[in-house]
Structure formats: C-alpha cells, structure tokens
Amino acid sequence: MPDPVELGARAAAQRLATPHTPALTTDVEVALHARGTTTTRPDQYLDPISLGALIVSIATLTWTVYKDLRKSTPTPQPDAVTRRVRVRLDQLDTPEGSLSPADRDRCIDITIEETLNSVEADDPEQG
C-alpha cells in the first residue's frame, strides 16, 4: 500500500506551490526524507523548507487521526477527520511563523483533503 502521508503531502505541495514557492515540492521531499529522524521541528514556518515540514506534519497527523477513527467506524467522514486534525494542531505548541491565518488554513485544508484523497484512491471502498 502506498504511504498516504507521502501521497497527500506531495499532492498538497503541488497544489500549494506558487511563483513565490517554486521549490515547495522539493522541500516536501526533503521533509519526507527527514520524517522519522531525530531532526527537530523548525522554529517557524517562514521559509519554504519549513512550509514543506508543516505540510508533512499535517499529512502525518491526518493519517494518524484517520486510522484512529477507523477503529470506531469503517469510513470516517472527512469533516470528522478535519475537525480532529484542527483541534490537535491548535493544541500543539507550534509557532505562527510568517503564514497568515488564511494561508495556514488553506495549507491545512488542502493537505487534509489530499491525504484523505490518497486513502480513497488506494482503497475505493474506504472513500
């Protein structure tokens, strides 16, 4: 089974890339490669590499929440996953960085959507 975190993060990076962040997809690849290592979380999501790490973090959290919800319901509703991810993100001590609240929300929404899409694409019966 392909890794939904990787698929979701890559798809989100492609959607979120702008002329100001042309290397975002590469930065997500770097963050995916660093996932699971002892490297620390960036102090702020200011530069594209930090934004790439944020995307990977959101995709990882989305997949974790989705798997947890599947224990009680075979097909968790996307809004239930989104609500739980947002609550968990709000509880984390994450610095604001340079992202505006609107840009942060867009990044969260797109990453959650793409991660859930990758789950559905891999197993259509789950979507």
All residues at 6 or more sequence positions from 27 whose CB lies less than 8 Å from its CB, including other chains: 13, 21, 48, 49, 51, 52, 53
DSSP label at residue 37 = S
Task: Give the pLDDT confidence of 70-107 residue by residue, as tens digits.
Answer: 999 988 999 999 999 999 988 876 555 667 888 889 99
Task: Give the pLDDT confidence of 19-69 residue by residue, as tens digits.
Answer: 888 889 999 999 998 886 655 444 444 445 588 888 999 999 999 999 999
Containing structural domain, residue 23 = 4-126
Q: What are the structure tokens assigned to 119, written together?
A: 């789950």
- 39 burial type by CB count under 10 A (0-12 exposed, 13-18 middle, 19+ buried): exposed
Dihedral of alpha carbons 26, 30, 31, 33, sign = positive
As a whole number of angstroms, the distance between CA 29 and CA 37 comes to 14
The count of structural domains within the chain is 1
As a whole number of angstroms, the distance between CA 118 and CA 14 comes to 14
pTM of the model: 0.80
